[in-house]
Amino acid sequence: MLKILFAASEAVPFVKTGGLGDVIGTLPRELKKQGLDVRVMIPKHGVISERFKQKMILKQTREVAVSWRKQYCGIEELEYEGVTYYFIDNEYYFGKRNAPYGHYDEAECYTYFCRAVLESLPMIGFQPDVLHCHDWHTGMIPVFLEDQYRKDPFYQQIRTLFTIHNLRYQGRFPKEIVPDVLGIDWKYFNNGSIEYHDCVNFMKGGLVFADAVSTVSRTYAQEIQYPFFGEGLDGLLRNRRERLFGVINGIDYQEYNPKTDDKVYVNYDANTLDFKVQNKTKLQERLGLPMAEDIPLIAIVSRLVGPKGLDLIGYTLFELLASEEVQLVVLGTGEAKYEQLFKHAAWQYPDRVSANIFFDEILARQIYAGADLFLMPSLFEPCGIGQLIAMRYGVLPIVRETGGLKDTVLSYNKHTGEGNGFSFANYNAHDLLYTIRRAIGYFEDKTHWRKIVQNAMSCDFSWSQSAQPYIRIYQDLVAG
């Protein structure tokens, strides 16, 4: 039986700030179902609910060195939905803080976590075949493993997989942390292994020292080997291309299931799409929009930030509203200029636009259940979860062909009947507007529309599909 340890900074349901938490909370469960011994290790963040903390069992304590510092490390255990989770407990670094990120001493916090992961393994009696590290917060684990632990027989056979969830966030810090925090030889900085523009780069360390590298879609794995998407690391990634893999993220098909979801107004599936229309009218009523089945309802459920394609939407929104009979519902928060864009649109078109500048999970589900189209024209998108949820609920995505959007959304072809949404290639506002109008045209052709919706709902983007490539990577690593 393969033994895998996931090391990450967050995992649902304990703590989540984005898609990383979703992956760490769901992929191990599927791998467990498929016969692997998978466990997860994350920090014991202060924001974790007391209902979980009260169930944690203290397994071991020890001191962990952070260069010249000696820091307490408690290892607490909790089994959740069949998966064993370990929580690294340190009040100073994690327990007294109200958010997992954004602190002045993040380099020290996550250096401590990387060391604590490695130090904890003999104490919990778990010797993984593969240590699966996720994003920059764990980037120093492969570095420390090679530099300071390989000579110990316990660690000699452990292989490492480093997964990039978003290359933009790399963990860059002043070089002074090399002796003061990392406690490793300057050679790793001087030879470029962890150096980037005269700073320490945690993610680069993971990319250089891990036995294999993966990212969260096949197209993104190719894109990041080019300067536009490579965030300054494209040369390194090209050098590692033989050991660079792209695996599409999945979603939890039990959690996201319109047939059983208790958060939607009326349950439905691909064979009962008339019930989906009831969700639409009830959503329109809740949002104060005219209750009209025959008007296409476009949804945006997203962080309102530039990389999500909000500039394209901004350039075309008022032309769209002036020329097409559509409704738009927005749910999310982000940069002030985009929040203001949608607030202004709702003020100018109160019967066409509903701007909900907050986030609410129940409303999100009701939007997925009630909308017709889902707008996600990202500048770049490592994988994307929103379009997967949308298709699960029979909402047709309008996306730009990048990253995981390109891998999961096939633009509809009326001649072959293939396709599960609508897409365009160039990052161009009027290409987006043309694609929206094309989608509206099919909305008015109910025969084609029903076919596309059923195509989307019949896709399988569950973790059962995504787990298989990971298993093959693990097997390859262990085989050497």
Which residues neighbour 232 within 8 Å (Cβ) at sequence distance 6 or greater? Answer: 196, 197
- How confident is the model at residue 18, as a pLDDT? 85
Query: Does some domain include residue 371?
Result: yes
| 299 within some domain | yes
CATH number where 399 lies: 3.40.50.2000
Residues 418 and 298 in one domain: yes
Asked whether residue 420 falls in the same domain as residue 456, the answer is: yes
Domain-located, residue 426: yes
Q: Quick one: 455 and 468 in the same domain?
A: no
Number of residues that make up the chain? 480
Same domain, 144 and 114: yes
Q: How does DSSP classify residue 294?
A: T
> What residues of the chain score a pLDDT lower than 50?
none
The DSSP call for residue 180 is I
pLDDT of residue 390: 98
Instruction: Answer whether residue 69 is part of any domain.
Output: yes
Q: Do strands 37-43 and 3-7 pair parallel, antiparallel, or not at all (unpaired)?
A: parallel
Kindly state whether residue 241 falls inside one of the protein's structural domains.
yes
Residue 432 within any structural domain of the chain? yes
Helices (H) and strands (E) in the chain, counts: 19, 18
Residue 75 identity (one-letter amino acid): I
* pLDDT score recorded for residue 87: 98
Residue range of the domain that includes 335: 273-460
DSSP class per residue in 390-426: HHHTTPEEEEESSHHHHHH--B-BTTTTB-SBEEE-S
CA distances from 356 to 80, 242, 288, 299, 363 (A): 33, 45, 12, 11, 10
Q: Based on the domain organization, do 450 and 468 belong to the same domain?
A: no
Contact 270, 358 (CB under 8 A): no
Are 347 and 419 in the same domain?
yes
Residues 456 and 468 in one domain: no
Pair 188, 333 in one domain: no
Q: Considering its fold, how many domains does the chain have in total? A: 2
Residue 277 and residue 414 in one domain: yes
d(CA 310, CA 338): 7
Does 319 lie in the same domain as 222? no
Q: What is the pLDDT of residue 12?
A: 95
> What span, in angstroms and rounded, lies between the C-alpha atoms of 399 and 165?
19
User: Are residues 435 and 468 both part of a single domain?
Assistant: no
For residues 28-41, one letter each, b for 16 or more C-beta atoms within 10 angstroms of the residue's C-beta and e for the rest, the string is bbbbbeeebebbbb
Does residue 258 sit within a domain?
Answer: no
The verdict on residue 261 lying in a domain is no
Q: Which of 381, 360, 290 is nearest to 328 (CA)?
A: 290
Question: 301 with 449, same domain?
Answer: yes
